[in-house]
Every structure is written in C-alpha cells, then in structure tokens.
Homo-oligomer: A and B are copies of this chain.
Amino acid sequence: MIQRPRGTRDFLPDEMERRRHFEGILRSTARTFGFREVATPMFEESELFVLRSGPNVLKELYNFRDKGDREIALRPEMTAPVVRMFVNGMSNDPKPIKVFYFGQCFRYERPQSGRYREFFQFGAEIIGNAGAATDAEAIALAASMIKALGLKDYRIRIGHIGVLRQRLADAGVPADRTAEVLQKLDKKLYDEARPLMEGMGVAQVDIDDVFALTETVGDVSVLERVPGSAGDYLRELISLLDVMGVRDVEVDLGVVRGLDYYTGMVFEAEAPALGAEKQICGGGSYTLSELFGGEKVFSTGFAIGFDRILLAMEKEGIGYGNEGIDAYVIPVTDDVRPQASGIAASLRAAGVSTDMDIMGRKMQKALKYASGAGARTAVIVGAKELEKGCVVLRDMSTGEQREVPVSDVVSAFI
C-alpha cells in the first residue's frame, strides 16, 4: 500500500474544515489591519535561501536539480520569496507595502510533535519603512491574530538585537564573529557560548554580564538597564502598543532570532503548553532586499507557525463545530430519483447546502448516513406524497416530520 511521504499529512474533512475556519480568522484579521494577501511559488532557486540564511540551510532544504539543471528548493519559509517578489515586481509601488501570505513550507528534518516536513506558515511583512510605528503595526497584528484564534496561554516577548550586539562589541567580540555568538545565545547554549567568547578574549565578568542581559525579561522597567537608543526605541514601541490595546507583551533582551539580517526590534510569541517546541510566532525588523539584487529597504515582518498554534489551541480545548449541511434529500424509491434530483438542484441553486442519496439506500440507512453527515433536515421524497405534490421534511435532531408542498421546499430552508 502506498503511503504518504514521511513528515507530511493528509487533512481529512473534519480537520480540514477546522483548519480552513481558523485560517479564515487569520486572513480576515490581517485584512482588517490593511494587509493584503500575496503568493509566491512553492519552490525557488536554492540560492535565495542560502543568501538569507547562509549555506547551512542547505542541510535541511528539499533541494534538487530540475530537468533544466537548475538548482531549486521547496521553500523553507516565505520571507525570502516575498522580498524577492518585492524586488522583482513591487519595488516601485507606494510604501509601505503591507502584505500577508499563507501556505506550505518544507524542511527536511526529523518529524516530531508540532514539527512536520511539510508545515504551514502564516506571515506578514511591512516593506519600506522602519520605526516604532511600523514595528507596532506588525506586533499588534500578530497579537490580534493570536487573540482572534482564541488562544489563552501565550507570551509575547519583545527585544532589540542592538542591545546584545552593542554589549558584545563593548566586550571585545569581533564584529565578524558576533553572529556566531548570537546563535548560541539565541538557543541559550551558555555552555557553548562561554568557551567561544573566552577564545575571543572576552573577560569572565563581561561574559557573565552578557548572559545576564540575555536573561533580562520583564515589564518596561527592565529597560532601565539598557543604555542608549535601543532602550528608548523599545520604550516608544511599547507605549505605542499600549495605546493600541496590546498590553500583554514583555521585554526580553534575550530574543535574538539567530539570523544576521535583523536590524533592530525582534519578537517572539510562545505557547508554554507546547513544551520544547513552544514558539508559535517570530519576527522583527530587517533588511533583505539588497541581498537579492534590490535596493536596501527597511522592513518588519513575522511568521506564525499555523500547525503549532492549532496544536496549542487543541491543548486548550478550543473546539470547532463543523458546519454540517442544511438538507439531505432521500428518494424513497428509485423511480422518484428524478424528482428528488430536481428538488436537490433547486435547494442548491438557492444556496442551501444539500446532499442527496445516490446509493439507493433504504430509508433507515439513508437517515443514518444523513445524520453522520451532519444534515439538519432530511427531505424525504416518496411516490405517495408526490402524488399530492408534497414531500416530507424531517428535523434530524427531533425526528419531527411534516408534509410540505414541493413548491414550498426551498422557502422552508431560507
């Protein structure tokens, strides 16, 4: 028996309806914020992702040579493709460009809870501006999306890449090795960061202070520890978020996001219920377009891990009742099928969701199928009633039945 590839999923009707429902909430929240949807191809030149993330990304890409000998890769994320699209076709549009996107991404890694080889991301980018107002828009959208989905237990932590970068420079970490150290700090790998920094000649007291900085979490008052412009910037940002009603955010100077292209504010959201894989959202301000051959353009963006946030919602018992269908039409005998088909067609034409028995099932079995399909009303079409120009409507929850003229069936549903 042929199986689906490892790390991928099939979405059966109930699960799919739930996903589409919550996807719709994310989409409409983004539109409410003035973001507009875009889409990019499922694959790109591998080079695009190497430019964004460095050559290490190749290890986890689904990359291959196509029949024209081009090195391409299934997209592992969508920021690089969207910025590539901006450089190719939107760079002259009025700024800011506020876009969002939703779709599959691919990473070849060991599948585990909440981690798939084919996974779904929802993301947004504000391209063409830098500043607290821009960052506030992005964070407010992310927070509103999480709230709109109904998730209760989550944390949003905001940091500034400039704080640690400055501290590392002051401590004597060479500029070209800052990224190495930040990657360790991003994952809180202090055991590895210490010898690394020692090797660069950083004093123990400075190392300890850097570690303390990455553990600095709290309300806006922790910014008193932060000298200079980064602290002022975060204060302005958090006060803007406050007037926008986004008050459930923390300052966390340990958010560094481990990627070179971030330029200032960085933020993450997590759902603690998910344990080790608790991050559900990440983003920040960055420049990327100049790596792809465009002009340097300041941007802010984020991505939400759709699978993970759904998992977190499931753990909180956030349910979704499927819509079911309005009507299930049952021809009692095969000779009345044309009349039954005609009635089903009239209902559908009126926008009433309608299914119909096509198996020729006997009444009890047909009613059982209708019930399983979540039908609210059965339309029973029998020869005897048809002689009187009528059919029987059966309320599937109460079992109550009533005769209705064929000409009134549609109006009984709308």
Contact = CB atoms under 8 A, between A and B. Distances in A.
B51 A2 contact: yes
B293 A1 contact: yes
A292 B51 CA distance: 41
Interface string A61-94: 0101111101010100000010011011110001
Interface in A202-253: 239-240, 243-246
Interface stretch (A162-170, A187-195, A345-353, A401-409): A345-353
A378 to B, nearest CB: 13
B133 A31 contact: no
A275 interface: no
B243 A41 contact: no
A358 B133 contact: yes
Interface stretch (A254-262, A303-311, A334-342): A334-342
A133 B34 CA distance: 46
A385 interface: no
Interface in A103-117: 104, 106, 108
A11 B38 contact: yes
B348 A32 contact: yes
Contacts of A68: 6, 108
Nearest to A84: B2
A337 B132 CA distance: 11
Nearest to A63: B64
A299 interface: no
A31 to B, nearest CB: 6
Scoring A9, A47, A342, A348 by chain B CB atoms within 10 A of each residue's CB, the highest score goes to A348
A72 B6 CA distance: 11
A369 B128 CA distance: 14
Scoring A37, A38, A41, A118 by chain B CB atoms within 10 A of each residue's CB, the highest score goes to A41
Given A94-B372, A372-B94, A84 B126 contact: no
Nearest to A48: B2
A88 B5 CA distance: 12
Contacts of A74: 42-43
A321 B34 CA distance: 16
Scoring A45, A81, A244 by chain B CB atoms within 10 A of each residue's CB, the highest score goes to A244
A371 B246 CA distance: 28
A239 B45 contact: no
Nearest to A325: B34
27 contacts: A1-B292, A1-B293, A2-B45, A2-B47, A2-B48, A2-B293, A4-B44, A5-B72, A8-B42, A9-B41, A10-B38, A12-B90, A13-B36, A13-B37, A13-B38, A16-B39, A20-B37, A32-B351, A34-B373, A42-B42, A42-B118, A43-B62, A128-B359, A129-B358, A240-B341, A244-B341, A244-B342
Interface of A: 1-6, 8-13, 16-17, 20, 31-34, 36-45, 47-48, 51, 62, 64-68, 70, 72, 74, 81, 84-85, 87-90, 94-96, 98-99, 104, 106, 108, 118, 126, 128-129, 131, 133-134, 136-137, 140, 144, 239-240, 243-246, 292-294, 323, 325, 328, 337-339, 341-342, 344-345, 348-349, 351-356, 358-360, 369, 372-373
Given A1-B87, A33-B354, 11 more contacts: A2-B51, A4-B88, A5-B66, A8-B41, A10-B40, A12-B89, A33-B355, A42-B118, A129-B358, A243-B341, A246-B345
